[in-house]
Structure 1
Amino acid sequence: MRPDPGQVLHFSEDPTITTFTPHVAPTSLETEPYVWAVGADRCPDYWFPRACPRAMAWRDPGTTDDDAARILGSGCGDRVHAVEYGWLKAITEVRLYAYRLPVEPFAPIGDPPHAVVATVPVRPLGPPEPVGDLLALHEEAGIQLRVLDRIRPFWDEVISSTLGFSGIRLRNARR
């Protein structure tokens, strides 16, 4: 599930949204109200239930071969997502939807950019689309999906490596 040219996506478990209104998320470090979305490159970050903690790593231009082999594995592709066993059932059962939004009101945020944001209300280009089988999406995209007892040790390895990385909802991970 990726956006078409001129679009970005917003993923949600709510299929009833008619307008996305800028707001400050309770867990956000940002203080300005935004509508959040992602481009094609960051869509896989959101192929999960909203509250699911996930640690993601990928090969970047500065990634060393040693770090890639140690964390991604030899011959295992250029990207890995790690989740905990306790979330596997939710990943297979969640009804996730993608909203296609026009790219025009959005601007990149982050350094390097990890999402796009709008400061005005945004109406979807059409009805939400069911995302479908999240495990199949990972497989089709060639993304390893690791299921671990705890993701924090994996996360500690990733953030001290030369790989690109992102962690989402890590506060929900097992201690």
Structure 2
Amino acid sequence: MLYHISDESDIELFRPRPPAAYPGMSPVVWALDEAHLINYLFPRECPRIIYALSDGVSDVDRERFFSYTTAKTVIAVESGWYERINQARLYQYAFDLVEFECFDETAGYYISKNTVKPQFVEAIDDLLHKITASGAELRVTPNLHLLRDAVLSSTVDDFSIIRFRNAAAHS
């Protein structure tokens, strides 16, 4: 199964759209694998940094980013978004894998150039519980800028910085 997370509850068909992040790319429908679903259990515009432990992480960076946790994945959000995350209701649309091709295995992204009908949709409430129950560590911080800079200058090679344009101003 592949999934799409939305704040809309009534999408009957997913039609290909030009991806803003990839100018010049043909219109597609996006979906993600189950392993990366946790990265999207946030309000759409919520800025977040997700990073995971991999073999490429140096001992120094392992100590720096993964001390005092047994989690292999850490998700950081700003405290200004905490209540919005807590109150959000999202919808998880499920698709058959056969309709899609892998776009980015590391990120868990899949695409289809065709209109796709979801097999089912399920409401997701209590996002904070789902996130913490996944085994990922959720970190809440007043500002994401220092963490972003640290991740970008580290040996952490499995990371995602999502909707950073919505992060609080650097303080």
Count of paired positions? 167
Bigger Cα displacement from structure 2, 33-42 vs 11-20: 33-42
Give the letter for the 1:138 counterpart: I
Identify which of 88, 92, 99 aligns with 1:105. Answer: 99
Between the aligned partners of 2:152 and 2:105, the Cα distance in structure 1 is 16
8 Å CA contact retained: 1:159, 1:165:
no
Work out whether 1:133 is the aligned partner of 2:135: no
The unaligned stretches of length 5 or more in structure 1 are 1-6
8 Å CA contact retained: 2:49, 2:160:
yes
For 1:19, what is the secondary structure of its paired residue? coil
8 Å CA contact retained: 2:5, 2:93:
yes
Work out whether 1:153 is the aligned partner of 2:146: yes
8 Å CA contact retained: 1:23, 1:35:
yes
For 1:11, what is the secondary structure of its paired residue? strand
Q: Which residue of 1 aligns with 2:48?
A: 54
Between the aligned partners of 2:107 and 2:162, the Cα distance in structure 1 is 15
TM-score by length of 1: 0.89
Between the aligned partners of 2:94 and 2:55, the Cα distance in structure 1 is 30
How far the C-alpha of 1:168 sits from its partner, in A, is 0.8
Q: Which residue of 2 aligns with 1:83?
A: 77
Work out whether 1:162 is the aligned partner of 2:155: yes
Identify which of 87, 90, 96 aligns with 1:93. Answer: 87
How far the C-alpha of 1:112 sits from its partner, in A, is 4.0
Between the aligned partners of 1:172 and 1:92, the Cα distance in structure 2 is 18
For 1:45, what is the secondary structure of its paired residue? helix
How far the C-alpha of 1:111 sits from its partner, in A, is 6.8
Between the aligned partners of 1:91 and 1:99, the Cα distance in structure 2 is 19
How far the C-alpha of 1:124 sits from its partner, in A, is 0.5
CA displacement, residues 73-129 of structure 1 (integer Å, 9 cap, x when unaligned) = 233311111111111111001110100111112111137454111100000002x20
Q: Specify whether residues 111 and 123 from structure 1 end up closer, same or farther in structure 2 by C-alpha distance, changes over 3 A only.
A: closer
Between the aligned partners of 2:11 and 2:65, the Cα distance in structure 1 is 38
RMSD: 1.5
Give the letter for the 2:61 counterpart: D
Between the aligned partners of 1:173 and 1:75, the Cα distance in structure 2 is 25
TM-score by length of 2: 0.91
For 2:99, what is the secondary structure of its paired residue? coil
Aligned-pair identity in percent equals 32
Q: Specify whether residues 39 and 111 from structure 1 end up closer, same or farther in structure 2 by C-alpha distance, changes over 3 A only.
A: closer
The unaligned stretches of length 5 or more in structure 2 are none
For 1:104, what is the secondary structure of its paired residue? helix
Between the aligned partners of 1:110 and 1:121, the Cα distance in structure 2 is 20
